[in-house]
Structure 1
Amino acid sequence: MAILIFFLVHWYLSLFVQTFFLHRYAAHKMFTMNPFWEKAFYLLTYIAQGSSFLSPRAYAILHRMHHAFSDTERDPHSPHFSNNAFTMMWKTKEIYNNVLNNRVETERRFDGNYPVWNFIEKVGDSYFSRIGWGVAYVLFYIAFATQWWMFLLLPIHFLMGPVHGAIVNWSGHKYGYQNFDNNDKSRNSLFFDFLTGGELFQNNHHKLPNRVNFGVKWWEFDPTWPVIWTLDKLSIIKLKPVKVKTAKATANA
Structure 2
Amino acid sequence: MTVAKPQKLALDWTTTLWLVGLHLAAALAFFPSNFTWAAVGVALVFHWITGGLGITLGWHRLISHRSFQVPKWLEYFFMFCGTLSCQSGPIDWIGMHRIHHKYSDTPLDPHDSNKGFWWSHVGWMLHEIPIKVEVSKVTKDIADDPVYQFCNKYFIPIQVVLGILLYVLGDYLVGNGLSFVVWGIFVRVVAVYHCTWFVNSATHQFGYRSYESGDDSLNCWWVALVTYGEGWHNNHHAFQYSARHGLRWWEVDLTWMTISLLKALGLATKVKLPPEDAKPVSAS
Provide TM-score, normalisation by structure 1.
0.78
Q: Which residue of 2 aligns with 1:91?
A: 124
**What SS does structure 2 have at the residue aligned with 1:84?**
helix
Q: How does 1:122-141 map to 2 (within 5 A)?
A: 122-124=153-155, 126=156, 128-131=157-160, 133=162, 140=170
Q: Which runs of 5+ in 2 are unaligned?
A: 1-36
| Structure 2 residue aligned with 1:201 | 232
Asked if structure 1 preserves the Cα contact closer than 8 Å seen for 2:221 and 2:231, the reply is yes
SS at match of 1:32: coil
Match for residue 181 of structure 1? 212
Match of 1:74 among 96, 108, 131: 108
Are the counterparts in 1 of residues 223 and 231 from structure 2 also a CA contact under 8 Å? no
- 1:24 matched residue in structure 2: 61
Q: Is 2:78 aligned against 1:44?
A: no
Displacement of 1:129 in angstroms is 3.9
Change (3 A) 1:96 1:226: farther
2:140 corresponds to: 112
Q: CA deviation digits over 1:91-123, x for unaligned, max 9?
A: 236568984xxxx24474x33234741222222
Aligned-residue offset at 1:3: 2.6
- Is 2:263 aligned against 1:232? yes
Q: Select between 76-85 and 153-162 the one with higher mean Cα deviation.
A: 153-162
| Structure 1 Cα separation of the partners of residues 165 and 129 of structure 2 | 25
Match of 1:11 in 2: 47
Q: Is the 8 A contact 2:199 2:231 kept in 1?
A: yes
For the pair 1:56 / 2:87, whether they are aligned, the reply is: no
3-state SS of 1:238 partner: coil
Q: Which has the larger radius of gyration?
A: 2
Aligned-partner residue type, residue 229 of structure 2: G
Q: Which moved more, 1:1-10 or 1:157-166?
A: 157-166
Query: Cα 1:75–1:136, aligned 2, differ >3 Å: closer, same or farther?
Result: farther
Uncovered stretches (5+) of structure 1, i.e. residues with no partner: none
Contact residue 204 and residue 217 of structure 2 kept, 8 A: yes
State the identity %: 22
Distance 1:188 1:19 in 2: 16
Distance 1:241 1:64 in 2: 18
Does the CA-based 8 Å contact 1:18-1:45 persist in structure 2? yes
> How far apart in 2 are the matches of 1:192 and 1:74?
24
Q: How does 1:155-174 map to 2 (within 5 A)?
A: 155-174=186-205
Q: Could you say if the C-alpha distance between residues 3 and 251 of structure 1 is closer, same or farther in structure 2, counting changes exceeding 3 Å?
A: same
Q: Residues of 2 paired with 1:237 and 1:197: CA distance? A: 18
Structure 1 residues 4-45: Cα deviation after superposition (integer angstroms, max 9, x where no partner): 212211222211110111000110011112222222323333
Q: Which has the higher helix share?
A: 2
CA contact (8 A) 1:70 1:184 kept: yes
Partner Cα distance (1:244, 1:15) in 2: 28
Cα deviation per residue 1:179-238 (whole Å; 9 max; x = unaligned)?
A: 123232111110793311110111111111111110112211111111111111212221
CA–CA distance in structure 2, aligned partners of residues 81 and 242 of structure 1: 32
Number of residue pairs matched by the alignment: 239
TM-score of the superposition, structure 2-length normalised? 0.70
Q: 1:137, CA displacement in angstroms?
A: 6.5
- CA drift of 1:170 comes to 1.2
After superposition, the C-alpha distances for 1:140-175 in whole angstroms (9 at most, x for unaligned) are 5991789xxxx6996433445532321211111111
Q: In structure 2, how many angstroms separate the alpha carbons of the residues matched to 1:242 and 1:152?
A: 37
Aligned 8 A contact 1:54 1:161 in 2: no
